[in-house]
Amino acid sequence: MINIPKPIQKPVLLVLLIAGITLLHYSTDQSHYYFHVFYGELYFVPIVLAAFWFGLCGALLVSTTITVCYLPFIFWNWQDFSANDLDSILSLLLYNGLAILVGVLKGRETKAQEEVLQKENLAVMGRSLAAAAHEMRTPLVLIGGLARRLLKKTNHENPDRLKLDLIIKESDKMEKMTGDMLNFSKPLTLNLMRENFSTTIQNSLLTVEEVARRHNVSIKYKSDPAAEVVAIHLDSLRFEQVIVNLVLNAIEASPEGGTVTITLSLTSSGNAILDVTDNGSGIPFTKRQKLFAPFFTTKKEGTGLGLPIVHKIVMAHGWSLQIMDSATGGTIFRIKLRESNLNEHI
Ligand SMILES: Nc1ncnc2c1ncn2[C@@H]1O[C@H](COP(=O)(O)OP(=O)(O)O)[C@@H](O)[C@H]1O
Ligand SMILES: [Mg+2]
């Protein structure tokens, strides 16, 4: 018995079905009209199978192959636009129409199933993360606190100070990580307050100044005069996390001496746009899909939770988040605020 490798079993079956049905058409005399009608209906089988197995592209590939195989047969038996000729041509249209219909419907169903599965996975992951982070947090705070107290008591010449410094640095890092894990997994309830948007952004930027200095990256804030007075309802603590995460990523992506620009502008329709632009080396299109999945990171010490948190907070506010290429080859993370948020001014 022939052993067909699993990945090509389905395509081989489709090819055999199309070839078999086409062969039946060509080997049966045209006078047996009802046989041909039956063979024509058999073509639906590979189309529907392809749509289920391979989606729209697979179904279209099969229906096009059938068209190419069946068309010569139609012309070979052409009877000057008889009812049979018309019927055969309509069948071809039907095959392709059906391929599109079933392919699209199957594609939608698969996407909906994937979304449900992803939500379920995220919920399970979130619960486990929250539990782990919660358990880790208390001992970490204790370790960091004790190390700080010991450091204070240790005199400056003591070589153990270096070790204590290291403990403090590492426990701070772990504390930040558990903070991210908790932020990501906790259900988000926004505490919305009416705030001047520009001032809120500038306050958030103060938090990242020190990191920018360490990386030798400068931070520039630019804003339209009209955007300066825009007031919106937002959760300022959560929003600070958005700015901090986006700007930290931008700093980490920038070359030494680079610049991260935060721009606030208003569109002609009155929407506010916030851009965080870096002059790093950009993000390839194929990588962009993965960025918002938890734990996706390319950094040695990254958590891969920054962007998922940003996404969660931005969506909770009803805003949108977009990734674009900057003019210098770097990246722009763009947040678009909905118009309904901007009806008040300070
Ligand atoms: N501005 C940026 N430029 C280039 N890559 C970026 C940028 N922002 C994020 N990324 C990529 O997205 C990944 C995920 O980011 P994030 O969720 O914040 O996690 P982390 O910063 O811990 O890696 C990063 O590891 C990096 O590869
Ligand atoms: Mg990050």
130 in the same domain as 2: yes
Residue with CA at minimum distance from ligand 1 atom 8: 249
pLDDT at 139 over 60: yes
**pLDDT for the residue numbered 123:** 79
CA angle 118, 123, 124 (to 5 degrees): 100
Q: 331 alpha carbon to ligand 1 midpoint, in Å?
A: 11
**pLDDT for the residue numbered 346:** 43
Asked if residues 283 and 157 have their Cβ atoms less than 8 Å apart, the reply is no
Q: What is the pLDDT of residues 301-314, one digit of tens each?
A: 888 889 999 999 99
Give the mean pLDDT of the chain: 90
Q: 317 alpha carbon to ligand 1 midpoint, in Å?
A: 22
Final residue in a domain of this structure, among 158, 187, 216: 187
| Distance, CA of 111 to CA of 103 (rounded, Å) | 12
Which of 33, 36, 11 has its CA nearest to residue 21? 36
200 in the same domain as 174: no
**pLDDT for the residue numbered 63:** 97
Final residue in a domain of this structure, among 161, 187, 213: 187
Final residue in a domain of this structure, among 135, 155, 187: 187
88 in the same domain as 35: yes
**298 Cβ inside 6 Å of ligand 1:** yes
Backbone angles phi, psi at 129, to 5 degrees: -60, -45
**58 Cβ inside 6 Å of ligand 1:** no
164 in the same domain as 22: yes
215 in the same domain as 149: no
Residue with CA at minimum distance from ligand 1 atom 10: 249
225 in the same domain as 317: yes
65 in the same domain as 175: yes
181 in the same domain as 243: no
**pLDDT for the residue numbered 23:** 95
CA dihedral 66, 68, 73, 77 (to 10 degrees): 120
| Distance, CA of 222 to CA of 213 (rounded, Å) | 19
Pocket test for ligand 1, best of 242, 307, 311, 328 (most atoms within 8 A of CB): 307
Q: What is the pLDDT of residues 238-258, one digit of tens each?
A: 999 999 999 999 999 999 999
221 in the same domain as 341: yes
Number of domains comprising the chain: 2
For residue 307, give the ligand 1 atom closest to its CA.
17
Domain span at residue 17?
1-187
pLDDT at 81 over 90: no
Tokens of 148: 């700080």
Amino acid, res. 305: L
**pLDDT for the residue numbered 156:** 87
Q: 271 alpha carbon to ligand 1 midpoint, in Å?
A: 27
245 in the same domain as 295: yes
294 in the same domain as 205: yes
pTM of the prediction?
0.65
| Distance, CA of 102 to CA of 46 (rounded, Å) | 12
Which of 109, 112, 107 has its CA nearest to residue 56? 107
Give the CATH number, domain containing residue 287: 3.30.565.10
pLDDT at 340 over 60: no
Asked if residues 245 and 307 have their Cβ atoms less than 8 Å apart, the reply is yes
262 in the same domain as 198: yes
Q: What is the pLDDT of residues 254-299, one digit of tens each?
A: 999 999 999 999 988 878 999 999 999 999 998 998 899 888 999 9
